[in-house]
Chains A and B, each alone.
Chain A
Amino acid sequence: METATFRIWRGNADGGEFKEYSTEITDGMVVLDAVLQIQAAAANDLAVRWNCKAGKCGSCSAEVNGNPRLMCMTRMDTVPTDQPVAIEPMQTFPSIRDLVTDVSWNFTVKQGIPPFTPRPADAPDGTWRMQQRDVNRVQEFRKCIECFLCQDVCHVLRDHRKHDEFIGPRFLVYAAALEMHPLDVADRVEELAEADGIGYCNITKCCTKVCPEEITITDNAIIPLKERVVDRLYDPISKLLRMFR
Chain B
Amino acid sequence: MAQVTIAAPVRRFGETTRSDKWWIQPLVVAAGLGLFVAYSTWAAFQGEYYHSGPYLSPFYSPELFGDSPHAWFGPKPAVWPAWLPWSPAFLILGIPVGFRLTCYYYRGAYYKAFWADPPNCAVGEPRASYLGERSFPLIIQNVHRYFMYLAVVFIGLLAHDAWKGLWFTDSATGVTSFGVGVGSLVLMTNVTLLGGYTFGCHSLRHLVGGLADQLSAAAPLRQSTYDCVSCLNRRHMLWAWMSLVWVGFTDVYVRMCAMGIWTDFRLL
| Chain A interface residues (CB < 8 Å from chain B) | 13, 63, 65-68, 80, 83, 86, 88, 91-94, 105, 108-109, 111-112, 131, 133-134, 137, 153, 155-156, 158-165, 167, 179-182, 184, 193, 195-206, 209-210, 218-219, 223-224, 227-228, 230-231, 234-235
CB of B135, distance to nearest CB on chain A (Å): 7
Contact stretch, chosen from B39-47, B78-86, B114-122, B188-196: B114-122
Q: Among the interface residues B4, B20, B107, which one has the most CB atoms of the partner chain A within 10 A?
A: B4
| Chain B interface residues (CB < 8 Å from chain A) | 1-4, 6-9, 11, 16-20, 104-105, 107-108, 111-112, 117-118, 121-125, 128-130, 132-135, 138-139, 142, 145, 202-203, 205-207, 210-211, 213-216, 223, 233-234, 236
Per the bound structure, the CA–CA distance linking A158 and B214 in Å amounts to 36
Q: Specify which chain A residues have a CB less than 8 angstroms from the CB of B125 in the assembled complex.
A: 155, 159-160
Q: Interface majority SS on B: helix, strand, loop or mixed?
A: loop
B130 touches A156 (CB 8 A): yes
- Of all chain B residues, the one with the shortest Cβ separation from A109 is B2
CB of B59, distance to nearest CB on chain A (Å): 27
Per the bound structure, the CA–CA distance linking A88 and B215 in Å amounts to 44
B107 touches A94 (CB 8 A): no
A203 touches B108 (CB 8 A): yes
Q: Among the interface residues A137, A159, A231, which one has the most CB atoms of the partner chain B within 10 A?
A: A159
B134 touches A105 (CB 8 A): no
B124 touches A227 (CB 8 A): no
Partner among A111, A134, A155 whose Cβ is within 8 Å of the Cβ of B117: A155
A134 touches B107 (CB 8 A): no
B6 touches A94 (CB 8 A): yes
CB of B230, distance to nearest CB on chain A (Å): 9
Partner among B11, B19, B111, B216 whose Cβ is within 8 Å of the Cβ of A159: B11
CB of B213, distance to nearest CB on chain A (Å): 5
- Of all chain A residues, the one with the shortest Cβ separation from B117 is A202
CB of B127, distance to nearest CB on chain A (Å): 9
- With A134-B214, A153-B121 known, 19 other A-B pairs at CB within 8 A are A68-B122, A86-B19, A94-B7, A108-B2, A112-B2, A159-B118, A160-B125, A161-B9, A163-B6, A182-B214, A184-B213, A202-B107, A204-B112, A204-B118, A206-B121, A227-B210, A227-B211, A231-B206, A235-B145
CB of A228, distance to nearest CB on chain B (Å): 7
Q: Among the interface residues B138, B216, B234, which one has the most CB atoms of the partner chain A within 10 A?
A: B216
